[in-house]
Amino acid sequence: MLVDVKCLNCSSDLSYEPGTTTLICAHCEHEMEIEHASVKRAANEELDLDAYLDNFSECHEQIEALTVQCDSCGAATEFGSEVKATHCAFCDTPLVLSRMENHKRVKPQGIIPFQIKRDEAIRHFGVWVKKLSLAPNDLKKHAGKAERFQGIYIPYWTYDCDTVTDYLGQKGTNYQESVTVTKADGSTETKSEHKTRWVYVSGSVAQNFDDVLIPATRSVEKELLHKLEPWNLARIVDYNDHYLQGYQAETYQVNIKEGYVDAKIRMQERIKETIEREIGGDKQIISESQSVYSNATFKHLILPIWVSSYRYKNKVYQVLVNAQTGEVNGEYPKSPFKVAFAALMVLGMAAAIVYCYEQIGK
């Protein structure tokens, strides 16, 4: 269980200080070094996927966790006992902390500790908001409140795998062909048409995948999390409860088997790119492909994210900040006035272009 660590000087709760290997007391600023902070034995251990595919939870080490489940979105989040009141980081619903219960959860192998503090995350958010040309002017006031940014460790799986893919397809080469056209007055005109010459191709590509990263949460859209990448996984260290002091940790909702299905989808995207490069030419068509996966391994990690969920006109939006790199991604409302104005600007520019072409043709 995540046990709150007390300050030796004043008995207040200690919290992990982002970017360091120490816990710090907010009351008297006393610091305590985290033991074995940089060890990464378990964090780098690749586990055989086939051996765990049907019984990971039963076979892997489990730890006690004091969690509360959100009645609205279902997210199960671990808290320290010092938390008295808060809202769900994912949907802004007040949490009934009296319903906290002890549950066992699988112990992650590795963790990337928080590197970015809350105020820095809010600064990154402010820069992001300024780039949202269609967002309402008061968005920052609604979403940028410090208390809404909660530090939470999100569960992930990573997968390694070797693949061999056989494919059938077509390679297209562009060329120009002169065509004589007879006009209405009987005269002729020669035009150059763009065409593509197609030939059938087949082949096989081998590709090795390392650390294909899959979110093990359903509380955040996968695409939002993918856009926070890349993560520097070389900074992963062995899981240590002390890194969670002052933060939250979500229990995984996507199991290892479901995660592997998602990993194969991501692998197929890259395999498709590899096949297209091998086919070459100007255009490619992949009509059939069949992949064989082998030597699959995995790791279970938790990664740090600042999450802000906020309500704007009765709708909930999420903003995420990668707490290692500062990358921001999120959902945001669009101002109807700004959308309409942008549409009018596009129409105006299109009309101006048409007018210019008409004047040139006269």
What is the number of other CB atoms lying within 10 angstroms of the CB of residue 3?
12
Whether 29 is covered by a domain: the verdict is no
**Total-model pTM:** 0.84
DSSP per residue, 107-148: PPSEE----S-HHHHHHHHHHHHHT-TTS-TTHHHHH--GGG
Q: Are residues 281 and 227 part of one domain?
A: yes
- Of 50, 81, 75, 45, the C-alpha closest to 61 is 45
Strands 110-111 and 283-312: parallel
Structure tokens at 236: 């992963």
Instruction: Look up tokens 């820069």; give the residue.
Output: 127
Residue 305: both structure tokens together: 């994210």
- Angstrom distance (rounded) from CA 162 to CA 292: 8
* 348/217 same-domain check: no
Cβ contact 281:169 at 8 Å: no
Q: Are 212 and 105 in a shared domain?
A: yes
Structure tokens at 193: 């048409």
Given this model, what pLDDT does residue 33 score?
92
Does 343 lie in the same domain as 326? no
Total of domains in the chain: 2
- Look at residue 127 in the predicted model and tell me its pLDDT: 87
DSSP track, 249-280: EEPP-S-HHHHHHHHHHHHHHHHHHHHHHHH-
In a domain, 194, yes or no: no
Residue 355 confidence (pLDDT)? 46
Could you give phi then psi for residue 298, rounded to 5 degrees?
Answer: -150, 165
- Is 350 found in the same domain as 303? no
Question: Per the domain annotation, does 190 fall within a domain?
Answer: no
- pLDDT tens for the chain, 362 residues: list them: 456 688 888 888 888 999 999 999 988 888 899 988 889 999 999 999 998 887 787 777 888 777 888 888 888 888 765 555 577 888 878 877 667 777 777 889 999 999 999 999 989 988 888 877 666 666 666 555 666 788 999 999 999 999 999 999 999 999 998 877 777 777 777 888 889 999 999 999 999 999 999 999 999 989 999 999 999 999 999 999 899 988 989 988 999 999 999 999 999 999 999 999 999 999 999 999 999 999 999 999 999 999 988 777 778 888 899 999 999 998 876 555 544 544 555 555 655 555 455 555 55
Residues 6+ apart with CB under 8 A from 17: 23, 24, 31
Domain holding 360, by residue range, is 338-362
Rounded CA separation 57/107 (Å): 10
Q: How far apart are CA 281 and CA 154, in angstroms?
A: 42
Nearest residue to 169 (alpha-carbon basis) of 140, 195, 205, 133: 205
204's CB contacts (< 8 A; 6+ apart) are 164, 165, 166, 167
Task: State whether 250 and 135 are in the same domain.
Answer: yes
Does 352 lie in the same domain as 216?
no
Residue 180 lies inside a defined structural domain of this protein: no
Is residue 7 in some structural domain? no
pLDDT of residue 144: 55
Whether residues 258 and 347 share a domain: the answer is no
Distance between CA 215 and CA 221 in Å, rounded?
A: 9
In a domain, 185, yes or no: no
- Same domain, yes or no: 278 and 248: yes
DSSP β-bridge partners for residue 78: 67, 249
Instruction: Please name the residues in contact with 350: beta carbons below 8 A apart, sequence gap of 6 or more.
Output: none
Q: Which amino acid, residue 286? A: I
The candidate with the shortest Cα–Cα distance to 103, out of 240, 238, 252, 220, is 252
326: alpha, beta or left, given left = phi > 0 and alpha = psi -120 to 50?
left
Residues 229 and 204 both lie in one domain: yes
Same domain, 56 and 162: yes
- Look at residue 24 and tell me if it is in a domain: no
Distance of CA 81 to the CA centre of its chain: 29
Structural domain includes residue 160? yes
Q: Distance between CA 35 and CA 95 in Å, rounded?
A: 33
Q: Clarify whether residues 87 and 208 are in a common domain.
A: yes
